[in-house]
Amino acid sequence: MGSGHVHPAPLKTSCLGRLDARAKILAFLPAILAVNLVPQGHLVAVGAVAAVFAFLMAMCGRDAFGVLRRAIWFAPFVLFVVVTLPFAAAGSEAFGVNLGFGRLVATDEGLRQAGAVAMKAGTSILGVLLLSGTTEAPDLFKGLRALGLPKAFVAILSMVYRYLFEIGDELSRLRRAAAARGFQMRDLRAVPRMGTMVAALFVRSVVRSEKIHHAMAARGYDGEVRVLGHTHFGKREAAFMAIFYVVTSSLAALAIYA
């Protein structure tokens, strides 16, 4: 994963960042899965998990604000679902919106579902940001491999991660070249040129991927993700997992049965 293609983990030097990746994977990912399996009638449990995630994020210091800004990449998808779901679900009418050519009706059930989606998505995004903000990608892949995930699966994940940066580099070069030649996306007449740029991006990405593959093979790449730093699963990691599970399950239970 060389050549500087590593998404930064601003919180790596925090108390959570110094933990072995396996402890964070085994703590955060099951919690995120549980959040999305919680029935709609027990959303207070989702709030309890969100509170734990928020507390852990606050423990990481002021750099956590930079990590939270990454949530803007997820916001459009969540916002689209939350806005459209009230008008798509069946149920009793809550309110209507006249569009001139028709009328959209939002239902009570749709509003409840939209609220549930917003809570679950927000909590899940917070957990993912906490994991990615405290763990660099090579460490994350190494932790997944150490937990017994198939070698081919981890290799595919690492390659997808790597090639996202490669495609981004090629796109930046194309945009700079187009701007240097006076290209501007002003009206529909520029659409054919955009199609040409997309085709060029595809060709360049394929060529560059072949070069990277040959370079990695020449250096003896065998599918394993290797990093220079080494961590081990010790007492700190075990204590963190125990405290996380006890606190999260206790808060969720209190929120449900209070």
216 contact partners, CB below 8 Å, separation of at least 6? none
User: Within this chain, do residues 141 and 191 fall inside the same structural domain, yes or no?
Assistant: no
User: Within this chain, do residues 174 and 244 fall inside the same structural domain, yes or no?
Assistant: no
If you average pLDDT over residues 139-143, what whole number do you get? 85
Per the structure, the count of domains in the chain is 2
Q: How far apart are CA 44 and CA 78, in angstroms?
A: 20
Q: How far apart are CA 49 and CA 61, in angstroms?
A: 20
Is pLDDT above 70 for 116?
yes
Buried b (16+ CB within 10 A) or exposed e, 13-22: ebebbebbbb
Buried b (16+ CB within 10 A) or exposed e, 59-89: ebeebbeebbeeeeeeeeebeeebeebbeeb
Interior CA angle at 117 toward 70 and 106, to 5°? 125
The pLDDT, as a whole number, for residue 1 is: 44
User: Within this chain, do residues 136 and 24 fall inside the same structural domain, yes or no?
Assistant: yes
Unique residue bearing structure tokens 């939209």:
114
CA quadruple 136, 142, 37, 79: dihedral sign? positive
pLDDT in tens, 148-193: 888 888 888 888 887 877 787 888 888 888 778 777 767 676 677 7
The pLDDT, as a whole number, for residue 229 is: 58
Q: How far apart are CA 241 and CA 28, in angstroms?
A: 9
User: Within this chain, do residues 216 and 232 fall inside the same structural domain, yes or no?
Assistant: no
Mean pLDDT estimate for the chain: 82
Q: Which domain holds residue 191?
A: 150-227
Is pLDDT above 60 for 111?
yes
If you average pLDDT over residues 240-256, what whole number do you get? 88
User: Within this chain, do residues 97 and 154 fall inside the same structural domain, yes or no?
Assistant: no
The answer to whether the CB of 258 falls within 8 A of the CB of 41 is no
Lowest mean pLDDT among 179-183, 205-209, 248-252: 179-183
User: Within this chain, do residues 2 and 66 fall inside the same structural domain, yes or no?
Assistant: yes
The percent of residues above 90 in pLDDT, for the chain, comes to 14
pTM flag (> 0.85)? no
pLDDT in tens, 2-15: 444 556 677 888 88
User: Within this chain, do residues 213 and 233 fall inside the same structural domain, yes or no?
Assistant: no
The pLDDT, as a whole number, for residue 52 is: 92
User: Within this chain, do residues 89 and 24 fall inside the same structural domain, yes or no?
Assistant: yes
User: Within this chain, do residues 136 and 218 fall inside the same structural domain, yes or no?
Assistant: no
The pLDDT, as a whole number, for residue 157 is: 84
Stated as kind and residue range, the H or E segment containing 94 is: strand 93-98
Is pLDDT above 70 for 258?
no
The pLDDT, as a whole number, for residue 164 is: 79
The pLDDT, as a whole number, for residue 61 is: 81
User: Within this chain, do residues 77 and 180 fall inside the same structural domain, yes or no?
Assistant: no
pLDDT in tens, 217-246: 888 877 666 666 566 788 888 999 999 999
User: Within this chain, do residues 108 and 169 fall inside the same structural domain, yes or no?
Assistant: no
Number of Cα atoms under 13 Å in the Cβ half of residue 174: 19
- Count Cβ atoms below 10 Å from residue 217 Cβ, excluding itself: 10
The answer to whether the CB of 180 falls within 8 A of the CB of 252 is no
User: Within this chain, do residues 96 and 170 fall inside the same structural domain, yes or no?
Assistant: no
The pLDDT, as a whole number, for residue 124 is: 92
The pLDDT, as a whole number, for residue 4 is: 47
